[in-house]
Amino acid sequence: MERYQYRPLRFYAICFAVTWAFWILAAVISKSANDNGISALLMLLGLTAPAVTAVITVSASGNSALKADLKRKLIGFYRIKPFSIVAAVIGFMVIVVLSILLSTLAGQSLEQFAFTEDFSFSVGGTSALLTILLAAVIEEVGWRGYGEDSVASYFSWFTESVIFGFVWALWHLPLFWIKGTYHYGLRELGILYVLNFLIGVVPLGFLTTWVYVKNNRSMLACIVFHLFVNTMQEKIAMTPQTKCVETIIIFVAAALVVLTNKEMFFEKEHIGNLLDEKGIGK
């Protein structure tokens, strides 16, 4: 069978066009008195764009290896290495703890270690808990289902992480104008907090890539990690100021992960071979 050629530019162009179209419309409607949950539906449709694009791209490819790879990544429990997932979860917990402790040097309170009573946002009456659950699952189907591999098929995992980190950050932009979202709240606080979110997404992408590759490119492993990160960001009572400190800690953590996994991040054997057995993971 002919070797499959990934098309990252086409994939991301479609994802951005569809997602942004729905989210820009949601931003307009969310400020209307007659919203009635329409903006929430538009947000959900925009959120699903990468996943739908990935599934359609794979299904329409006519390549059996690509289709089998997507199936393995989604339901291949045998690919998961529990120790690496536990390490990632504990590692992110340490990041949160260190961020709060360091923030006290700038006058922040230790009360941030408490759990919040509720999530910080809701959209059109949609449960925020349901929102972060959907985000973790749906995003990973898109990004790990096709998006990340489409870039990694041409670059090392390090370069891929840089590229994907910036792309992932930019993809979120319209959310800052949709009333009721966490991102909208950051924009109201000031540009510093908007930039902090966008910048913080990039090193977080390195951590997710590590989870992904260490678990033999398992989508399920990334869903677990993504869900845990989203939940921690929402349920731990960190202030916006502390989350700026957290971004610095995440950069340090990402640097340590890269330095201790240089063979994984800089090897190039997988380029062009992702669908071969040797390209599954390191």
Residues 86-129: tens digit of each pLDDT = 999 999 999 999 999 999 999 999 999 888 766 555 544 555 66
Q: 1-5, 69-73, 162-166, 235-239: which has the highest mean pLDDT? A: 162-166
Mean pLDDT across 66-88 = 88
pLDDT at 282 over 50: no
Q: Which residue has the higher pLDDT, 279 or 2?
A: 2
pLDDT at 279 over 70: no
How much is the mean pLDDT over the chain?
A: 90
Residues 15-69: tens digit of each pLDDT = 999 999 999 999 999 988 888 889 989 998 999 999 999 999 999 999 999 999 9
Which pLDDT score is estimated for 93? 95
Task: Give percent above pLDDT 70 in the chain.
Answer: 92
Which pLDDT score is estimated for 101? 96
Q: Is 5 left (phi over 0), alpha (psi -120 to 50) or beta?
A: beta
**Could you give the residue numbers annotated as active site?**
139, 172
